Structure 1
């Protein structure tokens, strides 16, 4: 496996770990519930370890932009599906702009290694 592909795999797993950790953060009820609180710590730790692995082959700015953009979209989706939260038009537009920014960066930036 190429170093770049391995980095993107690590980044993907880091994003999933962070989203799961954030979901447990909601369930921890401000760290008053032990098991969800422990899950937050485990998944956030895994997310940062995996992100550090991704940074071996990806520039920090690129990795973090992807991490933040995809993480926001997935976390918003979890909020809607799991926690029954609603998103208004402005929130949806903002999420669409974030996705567009990540796509533009990936498709057109010479900073991103393909």
Structure 2
């Protein structure tokens, strides 16, 4: 259970850092810039801990990426007015299906 909590921290750190990239205005705004650096530091440290605890790297990266992609797409649409077309939604669904397939394939 602790591994999944650490994994959630990794995903949240990555999402916070990526969103902050958008609002940092090319690293000209100090607070979002600090959030970028701290967020990625947290994300990669937590991901390293998850891998150290035995989660397979392919599975960890697939799930981490999929959650990040879906969250960033949703945040972009809701908070930044970015387009999220039906084709993009299908693409996100395919990414999620791919991660589920990887998860099922990694089961003993």
Q: Secondary structure at the match of 1:82?
A: helix
Match of 2:44 in 1: 48
CA distance in 2, matches of 1:55, 1:26: 28
Instruction: Please name the residue that 2:67 is paired with.
Output: 70
Give the aligned partner of residue 58 of structure 2: 61
Q: Which has the higher contact order (CA 8 A, sep 6+)?
A: 1
Structure 1 counterpart of 2:14: 18
CA RMSD across the alignment = 1.3
Q: Distance in 1 between matches of 2:55 and 2:64?
A: 12
Q: Which runs of 5+ in 2 are unaligned?
A: none
How high is the TM-score relative to the length of structure 1?
A: 0.87
More helix by share: 2
Give the total of aligned pairs: 107
- Is residue 7 of structure 2 the alignment partner of residue 8 of structure 1? no
Q: Determine if contact 1:21/1:44 at 8 Å carries over to the other structure.
A: yes
Q: 1:55 aligns to what SS in structure 2?
A: helix
**Deviation >2 Å, runs of 4+:** none
Unaligned runs of at least 5 residues, structure 1: none
Whether contact under 8 Å (1:6, 1:54) holds in the other structure is no
